[in-house]
Amino acid sequence: MTTPLIEIRSAPHVQGPKSVETIMRHVVYSLLPICAFYVFQYGISALASIAVVTAACLLAERFFVGTGTQAGRLSDYSAVITGLLLALTLPPGFPLWMGAVAGLVAIALGKALFGGIGFNVFNPALVGRAFVQAAFPTAIATYTPSFLAGRFTEFIPSSLAWPLMVPADAAAWLKAKNLDALAGATPLAKWKFDGVVANAIDLLTSISGNMAVGPAPVLILLCGAYLALRRFMDWRIPLAIIGSAALTAWLLYAFDALRYPNPFFMLFSGGLILGAVYMATDMATSPVTPKGMWVYGALIGLLTVVIRYYSGLPEGVMYAILIANAASPLIEKVTQPVPFGRGVLDRARKRATYPLNPGYISREEASAVTPKKRFLPNKPKK
């Protein structure tokens, strides 16, 4: 009798359908409509920016995976997500070479340094963005309005700047297009420096022309809802961020409506929605415990509003998320789940089919059986 070759391995012998690749691939799919809208807003400059930044991320990932110091591999799509998200946070006319620097730094400092996928402490896309924010403060603050005529035939001049050269002045280019320089300021900057509050509905759809805004928050929310329903993303974090930011903004607005903008403006301006749905939910850098997710999200929402209102910067989402990333191991530590049977033990649900004790009939009867507790044991009976 020949002995057939059989293997032994540890149970379970079946495995669920979800893998790292499928999760990451679906996140990329959900980002594609957002990128398409971004290109529709800003034309070929945006397209070039997305392509260059993503290519830079993939190049860096390829290099570090190749050196063998980093876990994971290229086909897990995580570098693509980093690249797309990073491109979406940069101004559309951001010089392409700077975008490439941002992409390389994002993977090198944000991910490879810590050991690759799963080990990073900070969201790599935001690390890249924080780096260029510090390195090129002027370029990253230079926005151009969306839906310009001829955006599909002509690059925004600053995009094509030579490496290490000062990019072309966007204001002069805008003037040539009969737009004032203020049109190139983001709604948040306008509010911060000029006290102009944009209409929240316009911001939500981002479709009415010539605003310097990112992709439409409503589209991001829809794509996020797809991910959350397919359970490729946790719904608690975005909800906690939006809820806590809205609550904080609303409290301040109720306190002083003249000084603070209305909460809807707060929610839909800047990168809050993009950050809440795509940046903060980065799995490796957010807590795993459900309670921790709420705390983490609430912290981001609060910090965002505080930074926006009380700091010199118009935008605060990036730093809020990075700070919360740093706090997330601690949050996780204090929000460990309570194991089954170790919490409050008498929380029998009302929905239960059978009473725990078959002798139990009514409360009166139960109290007749068990003597009432006395606070004063020797109290004389009346």
Partner 1 sequence: MKLLSYFRGEAFQRGVHPPSCKLTAERKIRRLPFPPRVTVPLSQHIGKAPRPIVRVGQEVVRGQPIARSDEWLSVPHHAPLSGVVEFIGLRPGMRGTWIESIVIAGHPGATQEDLWGMPRDLSQATGADILQAIWDTGMVGLGGAAFPTHAKLTVPKQAKVHTLVVNGCECEPYLTCDHRVMVEQAADLIAGIRYAMRATGAVRAIIGVEDNKPDAVATLRQSIARATAGGGFAEGEIHVEAVPTKYPQGAERMLIMALFGAEMPAGGLPISLGMVVSNVGTLAALGALLPAGQGLTERVVTVTGPGVARPGDYRVVLGTPLKFVLDYAGAPAVDAMDARQVILGGPMMGQAIASLDVPIAKGVSGVLVFRHEDMAEREGRQTYPCIKCGECVESCPMGLNPSTLGMLAAKRQYEEMGERYFLGDCFECGCCTYVCPSNIPLVQQFRVAKQILREKAA
Enumerate residues 349-368 that contact partner 1 by CB under 8 A: 349-359
Tokens of 377: 């044991």
First to last CA, the chain: 90
Residue written as token pair 């009473």: 355
Distance CA 106, CA 96 (A): 15
Instruction: Report whether 81 contacts 147 (CB < 8 A).
Output: no
* Residue listed under structure tokens 């020797």: 378
Phi and psi of 185, rounded to 5°? -90, 145
From 150, 339, 371, 377, residue interacting with partner 1 (rule: CB under 8 A): 339
Binding partner 1 (rule: CB under 8 A), the pick from 286, 298, 316, 322 is 286
CB closer to partner 1, 76 vs 315: 76
Distance (Å, whole) CA 318 – CA 106: 14
> Which of 138, 353 has the CB closer to partner 1?
353
Place of tokens 């403006």: 265
Stretch that binds partner 1, among 91-99, 105-113, 151-159, 348-356 (CB under 8 A): 348-356
Closest to partner 1 by CB, 24 vs 87, is: 24
Residue 258 is a binding residue for partner 1 (CB under 8 A): no
370 makes contact with partner 1 (CB under 8 A): no
CA distance 217 to 204: 5
Q: Which two tokens stand for residue 120?
A: 């990073």
Contact letters for partner 1, residues 96-135 (x by CB under 8 A): -------------------xxxxx----------------
Nearer to partner 1, 68 or 150 (CB): 68
Contact region for partner 1 (CB under 8 A) — 7-15, 33-41, 258-266, 310-318?
A: 7-15
18 versus 175: smaller Cβ distance to partner 1 = 18
Cα 159 to Cα 170: distance, rounded to the nearest angstrom: 10
Question: Three-class SS of residue 116?
Answer: strand
Interacting residues toward partner 1 by CB under 8 A: 1-16, 18-20, 22-23, 71-73, 76, 115-119, 231, 234, 283-284, 286-290, 293, 332, 336-343, 345, 347-359
